[in-house]
Amino acid sequence: MSGAKNISQKVNHFRLKLDEDELLPENKTCFFCGHTERNPVFVLQDKPLIRLLECTRCRAASASRMPREETLARYYRDYYPKDETKKNIRVTFKQVGRFSNHLYKLIAPGFSQVENLQILDYGGGDGSVAASLAGKMIAGGLAKNATITVVDYVEELTAATGSISLKRVDPGTPFPENTFHIIIASAIIEHIPEGGDVVRSLFSILKPGGFFYARTPWALPMAGFSRLLGKKWNFFFPAHVHDLGKTCWEYSAKNAAAGMTIIRSKPSIVESSFKTRFLVTTAAYLFKAPWYLFPGTYKLVGGWEIVLRKNT
């Protein structure tokens, strides 16, 4: 690879063009439900052509060609800007306290008290969101102490406190079924080619009665809207390889082998704050607001979040 190409790729990091040898052959079925019928809805790149294919059954949209594992590893190492890595991968949510409060309010009302709370923070960076949530669960009398398992490549975890311990494992590490009381998968599934397999395995390692939280971008409706205005949407491929909204998450929940009850399925929490990013935050709230008036039809919400409880 020449130096010049390298520099331009750094500038246009999100539009890094992938060559034939960096891609897997086309997957013939939906990654999330296994359906064979999918429609092309967006061109992610030309030559080799990579499109976003939308499943006609569960509505998951995924790249028609997935980057090879080593391609993705190199992408994150060499091209993905470090501040974006931090924002999107490492600490998936900047305002840790506000986010853990949001999670606590969704989980605590239906949670039965335990002695040692087991939380899996999947792709959770330094584990600070899970640690903050654990602190609130303990303060709320729902647990005596907590063990947090972070699945990520991050080198340093947030500091442990007396009643909360943290450990890190590499992605792909297997866990026994029915291990965790709470699983957090915030802004991570969209990055993983085999995302559907990961979701199914997370459901299986959740304890009966346990809570699962996920948050993913749902940009496809926004991309269509943007096209009407003559602008091309950036899907952040190959960082994002899936686009997952309401239908896909609810389909996955309803068809989960273990049986999952939907506690919440709504536009995702706004990530930025008025204090630091006024315009972005205002726009995010404005775009999400009409959904509350027209939940059946309005889709320009940008992201989706779901809270599920595993049936006992």
We find the least distance from the C-beta atom of residue 250 to Zn ion, in angstroms, to be: 12
Can residue 55 be called a binding residue for Zn ion (CB under 5 A)?
Answer: yes
Site string for Zn ion, 16-35 (x = CB under 5 A): --------------x-xx-x
Mark the segment that binds Zn ion (CB under 5 A) among 10-18, 49-57, 149-157, 188-196.
49-57
We find the least distance from the C-beta atom of residue 203 to Zn ion, in angstroms, to be: 16
Can residue 300 be called a binding residue for Zn ion (CB under 5 A)?
Answer: no
Binding-site size for Zn ion (CB under 5 A) equals: 8
223 Cβ neighbours under 8 A, 6+ residues apart: 42, 233, 235
Can residue 280 be called a binding residue for Zn ion (CB under 5 A)?
Answer: no
Q: What is the 3-state secondary structure (H, E, C) of the chain?
A: CCHHHHHHHHHCHHHCCCCHHHECCCCCCCCCCCCCCEEEEEEEECCCCEEEEEECCCCCEEECCCECHHHHHHHHHHHCCHHHHHHHHHCCCCCHHHHHHHHHHHHHHHCCCEEEEEEEEECCCCCHHHHHHHHHHHHCCCEEEEEEEEECCCCCCCCCECCEEEEEECCCCCCCCCCEEEEEEECCHHHCCCHHHHHHHHHHHEEEEEEEEEEEEECHHHHHHHHHCCCCCCCCCCCCCEECCHHHHHHHHHCCCCCEEEEEEEECCCCCCCCCCHHHHHHHHHHHHHHHHCCCCCCCCEEEEEEEEECC
Can residue 283 be called a binding residue for Zn ion (CB under 5 A)?
Answer: no
Can residue 256 be called a binding residue for Zn ion (CB under 5 A)?
Answer: no
Can residue 41 be called a binding residue for Zn ion (CB under 5 A)?
Answer: no
Can residue 63 be called a binding residue for Zn ion (CB under 5 A)?
Answer: no
Can residue 58 be called a binding residue for Zn ion (CB under 5 A)?
Answer: yes
We find the least distance from the C-beta atom of residue 165 to Zn ion, in angstroms, to be: 38
We find the least distance from the C-beta atom of residue 56 to Zn ion, in angstroms, to be: 8
By beta-carbon proximity to Zn ion, the closer residue of 195 and 303 is 195
Can residue 214 be called a binding residue for Zn ion (CB under 5 A)?
Answer: no
By beta-carbon proximity to Zn ion, the closer residue of 75 and 251 is 251
By beta-carbon proximity to Zn ion, the closer residue of 84 and 250 is 250
Mark the segment that binds Zn ion (CB under 5 A) among 48-56, 100-108, 119-127, 173-181.
48-56
By beta-carbon proximity to Zn ion, the closer residue of 55 and 256 is 55
Chain residues that interact with Zn ion, rule: CB under 5 A: 30, 32-33, 35, 55, 57-58, 60
